[in-house]
Structure 1
Amino acid sequence: MQSTALTGRDRDEAVRVLRESALGGPPLDVLVVGGGVTGAGTALDAATRGLTTALVETADWGSGTSQWSTKLVHGGLRYLQMLDVGLVHEALTERGLLLRTLAPHLVKPMPFLIPLRHRWWQRAYYGAGVTLYDLLANALPGRRALPVHQHTSRRGLHREFPQLREDQAIGAVKYWDATVDDARLVSTIVRTAHSYGASVASRTEAVGFVRDESGRVVGARLLDRETGSTFEARARQVISCTGVWTEEVTRLADTDGGLRVLASKGIHLVVPRDRIEGSSGLFLQTERSVLFFIPWSRYWIIGTTDTPWDQDLGHPVATATDIDYVLDRVNAALTTQLGREDVVGWYAGLRPLLQPGTRSPSDTARVSREHTVVSPVPGLTVIGGGKLTTYRVMARDAVDLALGPEAEALPSITDEIPLLGAVGEAAMRRRMPALRARFGWSAQLTDHLLHRYGSLVEELLDLIAEDASLAEPLRATPAYLRAEIAYACISEGVLHLEDILMRRTRLYYEEPRKGLDAVPEIAEIAVQWLGWGEEREAREVADYERRVRADEAAARERDDESAVRARDRVLRGEPGPDAPTVAGHEDDEQDEVVAR
């Protein structure tokens, strides 16, 4: 399989294919609604079975839950406490596939420490759990993907995480999981599906379903959010992979689908690596959730919370209360004290938790992440629940149910389909010393490129051969090359400036002021490679700046309802507190990520 670029023209072609399916052309075999990790995986699964497949997404790829996760590919160690051995084994199987075969460039091994407070019973308890975790992982065929766990003393724990308070632990259990850039995983799966023939159209919303005389779903009514036009698409099977929107989308077919999905909000903080000394991740239990310290490039990602969310599903926000809660838990565990000024960025997302029955909305921490697939009406398949690590299994199960008896003749083969950039990644890694010498790149930069692109670094080099200036880092954020912005524009399905800043890069939370200082240069590159005029450029910059002001206004409020009101006020252009802008940010207080 050859890598194929995903461009605006490809989206236009996908819209044409969708329209034609209802205007005399043959219907699609499968129409997938929802472009998060599950929908992307479902499109790849269907396309690699040889089915004519289309994927539509209301916004940008991965712009819902899939961009706001804890960035972990993991077996779910804490599910062993619930004796959910089957779920853990399934997730560990998928973790191994991602590390070894499917996405070794995107998924990075990472050690984690579980601090122990009690010398005997806790070491035996956690040791037994992690031993089972390792046994489940290493029972899989093939070479071991990750090392087995180790026990460490207080001194060993201090060497790996010196700033953990001594009264917090008498030692630790060290185990291994993996990290991933979640949004990048999604966009790579989408591109891989496209390379196998799937038609993919972002910013194309399903606003209804089409049914025949018997009541069977035979397609969907779609809204092109770029042009405002609506049209119909026909398909033998429609599969809804819409996460926290599962109930809303299912109701478009005049059914509740039998699935109840609870939206639970989790927030994460991003802190520079030099503010916390440590070489491994950290796993702590709190009274309300799990607290992870995750090494992430030049930063720590710290989270998460677990609170019910009953506001707009499309715009979860972090409040001042959320941010203070995480900081308080961090400061209770570490010798160093972090303040708001140490927070470079933050983000909030919603988890789609299946409710197995009637539960209190506040009881979100006990709802399992297992997925369920149902067919509420003929022609429509709905999948709910699950987690990022097991996206491939969820996709397989959804397509299997949609196909019914046909699935036996067309079984899923995605366990042997590497994602774009995986094949040849090891060879590209060996080329990096020469590239560092040639371009003056640092080891950190080449590691960053490998972890994002794998063997697709070759396509960046082709761009640099065309324009040598693309080998230079961005002036405001030298962790990214100019070539990465150009590549996002012409190969990764970018339609808007926010797609670049929030998902193709992660400047939205990796840089102070949510990357506003880099916006002029990024917009300049986008103008060149996307062909924007001055008016379009100005509109894109203003839209992103407004998004930043809105999210920062929300983070000054204490509760969800007030935060959403503050955010909406800014988005509507109503007067409110001053916030950073691209052109002017002389006030030092405006340079703080979260207003005091």
Structure 2
Amino acid sequence: MSVRKNSQPPAAGDTRGRLGPDERAAAIAAMREPGAELDVLVIGGGITGAGVALDAATRGLSTGILEARDWASGTSSRSSKLVHGGIRYLEQMNFSLVREALVERGLLLQRLAPHLVRPVRFLYPVTVPVIERCYVGAGMLLYDLFARTGGRPPGVPWHAHVTRRRLGREAPGLRRDAFRGGLSYSDAQVDDARLVSTVVRTAAAYGALAANRVRVEGFLRVGERVVGVQAHDLETGERFEVRAKQVINATGVWTDDTQALVGERSTFRVRASKGIHLVVPRDRFRSKYGLLLRTEKSVLFVIPWGRHWLIGTTDTDWELDKAHPAATAADIDYLLEHVNTVLQTPLTRDDVEGVYAGLRPLLAGESDETSKLSREHLVVHAVPGLVMVAGGKLTTYRVMAKDAVDEAVAAMEGRIPSSITDDVPLVGAEGYRAAWNRRARSAKAAGVHVDRVEHLLQRYGSRTDDVLALIAERPELGESLPGADDVIGAEIVYAASHEGALHLDDVLARRTRISIEAWDRGVSAAPVAAELMAGVLGWDAARIGREVERYLERVAAERASQQELTDEAADRVRLEAPDFTGSADDPDAQDGPGEAR
């Protein structure tokens, strides 16, 4: 018996793509049904796994995706939130990687996710006149030309030269003696966690079966061939098997751990590199540009982010807990020290609203002497029935997914269509520009300020009407959460009913960014958000209290870890807070080996 295929596009106003608790239960029931066999099963719910599920589903393949924690709970919610070509790779002569990423940037901006991805302007400062300006300008010209080779408009303007005098007017928060002008250029930014959940929703809209909080604990084999997985539903405690013709391992920094469950030795490793970011208020210094600064180790970005600046990142090896990488006091001081060299008024620890740490999955060979770490991706048919995709970057997730599914279908019988995801808008993208044009009418009809509708449109696109409908039914859902003026109650309800949020942390850290954007990191919003989620997920008072307590423990542990000087000490302190992963009947259950991301 085969799982039903569904590759028909979602109609306007269709409810497919909803990731509520009922849809999760139905997906698990379909995957575990006796005799069922998927065409493709994806392990890992980060951006790569989400992209793989969408690619496979839109080819007409019966598809499932499992994630051990929450969608995007690993690397894919802790990035610099940039959709970019990687301008520094031009110096490394890696032109193909830069061009590929720039073409994908244009696709996301113009076609696939215009409601989530938007242009951002950066300054590349110069300190040496003439020679440096000409050298950097040549690189910028190449960057802009590559962006225009994809057959579609790039969605961003050309670079421009900025004089020292103009820089003083447009970036008065920078030290006058720091630069001799510079060049401005455009890239794009995205709420990375929302991108992932939206890609998963789109995959589900095309028939993919999606379930988070389901951990893969082993592989099913017939001889040498992988034919499925052993899965554990961490919400109910149930264990079951899922069978598939091809399994795709897209677990990022957990790739080696997942691969070890097969018992096969890999020809390469995935090493974790820790990068941290600081969130500071936008009013701490004035600039029309973000900044790209060179450091002795890498580059430092200062990125406009709504009412905030994101400052990052570091780049250090990490061999401790992968689920909760910890930022140290030394990491924070490193970023503040470097950004303060160019600011009129230095930032202090008191200016830091939020801190987050993430791990980059970098490819490494069997020894560091024979191969260098890479941001390129690799696809390997590790054993029959099991494809592994690793490396890469958020911007090129669609290409990684295409390559992984190409490798999987090469081993399948029959003629299978090629990838079409370069022309498949994500949920909320179709009709977004028309919705934006009528935003004033929508605001008036809903009885909310037009600024609120604009905020919702840039998060939900044309699905904003679904959120406004919640307010029409319950006007109190139009009110902001305590300590988080940009987030309203309807967004919390929608996260639980439509976006797969199963725990309080899922909402405060990923569906919204309250955990890094609020001064109290979501402490005052937590009880209100938990009550709102309870109505959707059926929590009783005890469960609400436990969710709030867990979240407060997480915040306290993160704050304490950020006072430590070493990775080891910070990791130890951070892990004192219990994890959210675990069934309602066994709230103290912890993650084990083989978790999928």
TM over 0.5: yes
Hey, what's the Cα distance between the residues in 1 that align with 2:160 and 2:447? 39
Work out which of the residue numbers 314, 337, 342 in structure 1 matches 2:346.
337
Hey, what's the Cα distance between the residues in 1 that align with 2:170 and 2:406? 45
Contact 1:257 1:374 in 2 (8 A): no
Contact 2:480 2:488 in 1 (8 A): yes
The reply to whether residue 210 of structure 1 matches residue 220 of structure 2 is yes
Which residue number in structure 1 is paired with residue 552 of structure 2?
A: 545
- Distance verdict in 2 for CA 1:443–1:157, change over 3 Å: farther
Cα shift at 1:222: 0.8
Cα shift at 1:350: 0.2
Cα shift at 1:125: 1.0
Which residue number in structure 1 is paired with residue 28 of structure 2?
A: 15
Which residue number in structure 1 is paired with residue 391 of structure 2?
A: 385
Contact 1:247 1:259 in 2 (8 A): no
Which residue number in structure 1 is paired with residue 118 of structure 2?
A: 108
Q: 3-state SS of the aligned residue for 2:287?
A: coil
Which residue number in structure 1 is paired with residue 60 of structure 2?
A: 50
Which residue number in structure 1 is paired with residue 311 of structure 2?
A: 302
Cα shift at 1:86: 0.4
Q: 3-state SS of the aligned residue for 1:55?
A: strand
Q: Which moved more, 1:510-519 or 1:465-474?
A: 465-474
TM-score (norm 2): 0.92
Which residue number in structure 1 is paired with residue 158 of structure 2?
A: 148
- Which amino acid is the alignment partner of residue 379 of structure 2? V
Runs of 4+ in 1 over 6 A off after TM superposition: none
After superposition, residues 45-124 of structure 1 pair within 5 angstroms as 45-124=55-134
Q: 3-state SS of the aligned residue for 1:514?
A: coil
Q: Larger RCO: Structure 1 or Structure 2 (Cα < 8 Å, ≥ 6 residues apart)? A: 2
Hey, what's the Cα distance between the residues in 2 that align with 1:14 and 1:82? 45
Cα shift at 1:357: 5.3
Work out which of the residue numbers 370, 374, 379 in structure 1 matches 2:376.
370
Which residue number in structure 2 is paired with residue 37 of structure 1?
A: 47
Work out which of the residue numbers 268, 271, 276 in structure 1 matches 2:277.
268
The reply to whether residue 404 of structure 1 matches residue 424 of structure 2 is no
CA distances 1:431-457 after superposition (whole Å, capped 9, x unpaired): 212344455645543332111011010
Work out which of the residue numbers 280, 297, 302 in structure 1 matches 2:289.
280
Which residue number in structure 1 is paired with residue 231 of structure 2?
A: 222
Q: Which moved more, 1:502-511 or 1:467-476?
A: 467-476
Cα shift at 1:513: 2.1
Q: Which runs of 5+ in 2 are unaligned?
A: 1-9, 580-597
- Which amino acid is the alignment partner of residue 36 of structure 2? P
Hey, what's the Cα distance between the residues in 2 that align with 1:236 and 1:542? 42
Contact 2:483 2:518 in 1 (8 A): no
CA distances 1:185-207 after superposition (whole Å, capped 9, x unpaired): 00000000011100001011111
- Which amino acid is the alignment partner of residue 452 of structure 2? L
Cα shift at 1:489: 1.4
Which residue number in structure 1 is paired with residue 511 of structure 2?
A: 504
TM-score (norm 1): 0.92
CA distances 1:329-349 after superposition (whole Å, capped 9, x unpaired): 111121111111100001000
Hey, what's the Cα distance between the residues in 1 that align with 2:366 and 2:136? 30
CA distances 1:359-407 after superposition (whole Å, capped 9, x unpaired): 279x9xx732000000111000001100000000000000000111659
Q: Percent identity?
A: 52
- Which amino acid is the alignment partner of residue 65 of structure 1? T
After superposition, residues 116-515 of structure 1 pair within 5 angstroms as 116-213=126-223, 215-356=224-365, 358-359=367-368, 367-404=373-410, 409-438=416-445, 441-515=448-522
- Which amino acid is the alignment partner of residue 38 of structure 1? T
Hey, what's the Cα distance between the residues in 2 that align with 1:40 and 1:127? 37
- Which amino acid is the alignment partner of residue 139 of structure 2? G
Contact 1:30 1:237 in 2 (8 A): yes
Contact 2:59 2:416 in 1 (8 A): no
- Distance verdict in 2 for CA 1:144–1:565, change over 3 Å: closer
Cα shift at 1:139: 2.1
- Which amino acid is the alignment partner of residue 192 of structure 1? T
Hey, what's the Cα distance between the residues in 2 that align with 1:228 and 1:325? 43
Cα shift at 1:107: 0.1
After superposition, residues 514-553 of structure 1 pair within 5 angstroms as 514-553=521-560
Cα shift at 1:471: 2.1
- Which amino acid is the alignment partner of residue 557 of structure 1? E
Hey, what's the Cα distance between the residues in 1 that align with 2:411 and 2:144? 36
Contact 2:164 2:182 in 1 (8 A): yes
Give the RMSD, CA atoms, in angstroms: 1.7
- Which amino acid is the alignment partner of residue 46 of structure 2? G
What is the number of equivalent residue pairs in this alignment? 565
Q: 3-state SS of the aligned residue for 1:317?
A: coil
Which residue number in structure 2 is paired with residue 6 of structure 1?
A: 19
Hey, what's the Cα distance between the residues in 2 that align with 1:477 and 1:544? 16
Q: Which moved more, 1:520-529 or 1:48-57?
A: 520-529
- Which amino acid is the alignment partner of residue 408 of structure 2? A
Contact 1:270 1:346 in 2 (8 A): yes
Cα shift at 1:494: 1.1
Cα shift at 1:3: 4.2
Contact 1:474 1:482 in 2 (8 A): yes
Hey, what's the Cα distance between the residues in 2 that align with 1:112 and 1:297? 15
Contact 2:115 2:429 in 1 (8 A): yes
Hey, what's the Cα distance between the residues in 2 that align with 1:554 and 1:405? 47
Hey, what's the Cα distance between the residues in 1 that align with 2:365 and 2:62? 34
- Which amino acid is the alignment partner of residue 106 of structure 1? L
Cα shift at 1:182: 0.1
